[in-house]
Structure 1
Amino acid sequence: MTSSIYCVIIFFGTIYGGSAEADNLILDRFGRCRKIVIILAGMIGVGKTTYTYRLAEELGTQPFFEPVEENPILDKYYEDPDKYGFALQIYFLNKRFKMIKAAYHDDNNILDRSIYEDALFTYINTLKGSISEQEYDIYLELLDNMMEEIEGLPKKAPDLLIYLDGSFDHIMNNIKKRGRNYEQPNEENGLADYYQLLYKHYQNWYEDYNYSPKMRIATDDLDIANPNDWNHVYQQIQEKMRTIGLEK
């Protein structure tokens, strides 16, 4: 693409806090961005980090990856979501805010996940009872305050949303293969039900999403480490970008 700036934000589910008011809050604050923004959305375990790396490589941008291994709360959350649910979302919000400021300091960057995605996590935890309604309101107020501090974000919506779709079995297999012990569902931890709830909301959210042009990529039969598979994916993305006027 010509002189445009890319900030590709990976987003497992939504610019979505559970209400139209929350949606508009996030989108309005996001609406100050002068950069071209491509969001990669999709369920946890669908392969967002891998797709981020490949797309950043193709576009010549620097990816910012989520510091999962450095997160001191994430494994504790999986063990006791009621105790650590709110703390985890505040941690993610703070880290994501720092990532956004770092990403927009330079011209070209890709973010693995986004501050907008965290709102869905918070909403789902509110549905499950791991986060109270009062904590949820505090979270949204803090999100609003943080977004007011970010300069140079003029857009009210992304330029393109790329939804990475996969069957539930495919995603569960990916989670199993990457081998993070705290992510593995068993009879005691209730994670299978949690993943099912997330998956359901992803599917519904994509169908309802109308803030920007969007496209779906079916990932079940793809291995983007294979050049032929990646070329197939990238050609789809290029064609969509040409269609909506984001010329390379």
Structure 2
Amino acid sequence: MRNVPFVAVEGPIGVGKTSLAAAIAKQFHYHLVKEIVEENPFLGKFYENMEEWSFQTEMFFLCHRYKQLEEIQHRFLQQKVPVVADYHMMKNLIFAKKTLKDHHYQKYAKIYDILIDGLPQPNIIIYLHASLDTLLARIQKRGRDFEKNIDPLYLQQLCTDYEEIFSLFEREHPHIPVLRFNGDQLDFVQRKEDLHYILERINHVIKGALS
């Protein structure tokens, strides 16, 4: 499975992960895996009261992403079917560490380590980032009811957390390519030339990393 492309698209809320993952799947004929968001019954309550609902919210996401990784492993990668996902499992720890109380996080981290043991990890990662203004504008444009109560300070700190975790990841895993794209400069949804540029870079890295 090592030479089968498994691409993960990551970045903070509203940066365009699902849109880019769908474009990659269409361009390269990969199987698209999308994270479950709106189906999480705790998410609306979480944005209203993070302290009360953070543990339930994060456990729901963790369990569903674990099941998706199992499916990726057994139904696709073992059959040599390339996959692109609009998330990386590391996001679980980013959000959990930010929202959970320490005693809850310690339990969560132990469960996380148990679940991901032996499961496939992406061999190419795309990291999308953008300014707070860009993220807020895109969140407002897509109009999800449960996101209307997002605190801009929470979102800004989330961007900082993503930068820190990806800088650490790149140092600890230099063999895994990480492509960074700035969402303030590139609008791959509205501008075809931007999408073409991104897809060309991805194609180049895929060929180089897995050849």
Normalised-by-shorter TM-score class: 0.7 to 0.9
Return the alpha-carbon distance in structure 2 between the equivalents of residues 144 and 207 of structure 1. Answer: 21
Tell me which of 165, 181, 193 is aligned to 2:145.
181
Instruction: Provide Cα deviations, 1:84-109, integer angstroms capped at 9, x if missing partner.
Output: 10111111110001111112222333
The code of the aligned residue for 1:159 comes to N
Deviations 1:54-79 (A, max 9, x none): 11112211112122222111111111
Q: Is the CA contact (8 Å cut-off) linking 2:44 and 2:146 kept in structure 1?
A: yes
Aligned AA for 2:61?
F
Find the partner of 1:55 among 24, 27, 47: 24
Aligned equivalent of 1:214: 178
Q: SS of 1:110's equivalent?
A: strand
Q: Is the 1:46–1:164 Cα contact (8 Å) retained in structure 2?
A: yes
- Whichever structure has more helix as a proportion of its residues is 2
Superposed CA offset, 1:11-67 (max 9, x none): xxxxxxxxxxxxxxxxxxxxxxxxxxxxx2211110000011011112211112122
Q: Which runs of 5+ in 2 are unaligned?
A: none
Corresponding residue number in structure 2 for 1:8: 7
| Alignment pair present for 1:73 and 2:42 | yes
Matched residue type, 2:206: M
Deviations 1:140-195 (A, max 9, x none): 111122123x45x3x6xx4332211212211111111111133124xxx7x11111
In structure 1, runs of 5+ residues without a counterpart are: 10-39, 126-130
- Which residue of 1 is the match for residue 84 of structure 2? 110
Q: CA deviation at 1:219?
A: 2.1
Counterpart secondary structure, 2:181: strand
Q: TM-score, normalised by structure 2?
A: 0.84
**AA matched with 2:194:** D
**Paired residues of 2:58 and 2:96 also in contact (CA < 8 A):** yes
**Counterpart check, 1:160 vs 2:124:** yes
Which residue of structure 1 lines up, in the alignment, with residue 201 of structure 2?
Answer: 236
1:195 to 114, 135, 155: 155
**SS across alignment from 2:75:** coil
Matching residue's letter, 1:196: Q
Two-structure CA RMSD over aligned residues (Å): 2.2
Q: Measure the CA separation in 1 of the matches of 2:167 and 2:114.
A: 30
Q: TM-score normalised to the size of structure 1?
A: 0.73
For residues 4-153 of structure 1, the aligned pairs below 5 Å read 4-9=3-8, 40-107=9-76, 108=81, 109-125=83-99, 131-148=100-117, 150=118, 153=120
- Aligned-pair CA distance for 1:121: 0.3
Q: Is the 8 A contact 2:126 2:179 kept in 1?
A: yes
